[in-house]
Structure 1
């Protein structure tokens, strides 16, 4: 069965870019491990034309480096799946590197890696607008990342400066090797301090390096474990969702949703938020909000937060298409509930109305009304607010 490469029009879908990135990662890992495990076979097969140019040591280095890049591409694929901007940038950085390393391996086994990496690079670039979600790192995660990088620089530069007082440190690579194995507490023993000054420096490198690695592991693993629990259990709050009644369901979460949640909290209105991303759920849960993890356009999450007993549903994220699906589902589950939707694009107001929303508000249009009234000094804010509450379409304003 012949292998058919994706057509150009197939690459216009973001999901294809995610799948291709994951496939490139898997191929890079398999190619690198295969080359390392079967070096004798790799030398025996007919090489590609660049074999006479590439040094054997360079080929072996490219093999294990390609394996590492493959694992990093798996993380990039995970970021792309979540629409992350960081996932896109890392993929754009690692994919050309994966193709270059495949070329340096000078092995027919690496040809699929080269071709797949280039095709995937084209797919990611073509779909770059779909991967633009800002990456949210907490202050603790940012601080620990700086600590890890700083500790490695400290140990590497210190070992290089004191190389004459170490046995086994003669190059910058060996200095970095000392820093890494010291911080990870591996300590093979092939690099050792030979003087008291070097021993004191090594002691400080051990303390700083292991502490930064431990802090980084905690800041990354704890949120990941909490997110896994949130995904598995659906909600991480202590309140019982089945007791909700005459409440407001907020379907989805985004920049436009944030002020809505704050207003509901200030008014002491009981509400529940359905979010798709565990990271968003964790952030909202820290603020003591009732959160359920799931797709707001699916029936199960909306039923779990009691949409059939709700007084209102609000769908106002930054994705009008996702909001329309959430409105359709909510209307089907509770035909009598009042549904308010926000349209980030004023052209989608009619579409959200057709989906079943009672009221559709475009922040851009509403902001224009308020700015004009303020500029002309006509006031009437209270009247405008009353009209807003009674409006069934933003054009009624």
Structure 2
């Protein structure tokens, strides 16, 4: 039996025990009222002292039928007591109470997520994406059909949801309306196509990245709505070739992308019309001197990309800068790009 099936069975038996106790008390109370003509309070009193076997005196002498009913109630109550005790022990010893609490906590955290990423599939790729996002303190939620993988993600403190990511209801539970982006990292290209189609239909403006094993699947994923497709074997082949030809450059790029190994961050920033950078040339902005950040690329509002912008090139509203710097300098740069921070004076 699967992990979720076992948990459901334990919880169901526990719930059945509690319901059975309540039902038996109701039957006992109704029985004494019908057989002995007791008031509701007297009948409830008789039922409770009978089931609990505390040995208190009877309300009044019982008839033969009442004694037979009491005997049956004692036998039923004793059997139910041991059944309930066994299920309660199983419920707590199995950790189901903790799992139930964690599921409730997971749902509350899902409702609070905002501007987050959704990782569809917690396999080898999905788990590594989750680790990277976690290292960068970026909010995300995981969706997987395998309860064991969902449990493994939750054990690491991640927000995880069991279900099929191609299901609209599951994506809504993961907060797709509030999400910043989605990673389709399921085991097969066909699954990823359906995930991308569903996600794009639910939120047309969502940033979607999908994995693919076959090159033939790339166009299908792009037509389905993915903005970027990562061909795993092609990417791995390119990286291995670069490690052979230019190992130093590749190692530097790896360190640059690993926030744990190097205190540098590479980000892309959109220039707001209120930014003090708007209308300045790169020479006038002098970002390397004023903010100690390096501009490694500039994307014009029309989409043209300049990997090495000229000093005389003018920064335009709607353009995108790709910069490298320390987290503190990048934070200042983000505020400068949005217009919430003025351009610092150049240092001597």
Q: Would the TM-score normalized by the shorter structure come out above 0.5?
A: no
TM-score (norm 1): 0.38
Looking at secondary structure, tell me which structure has more strand per residue.
2
Which structure has the greater CA radius of gyration?
2
Tell me the TM-score normalized by structure 2: 0.43
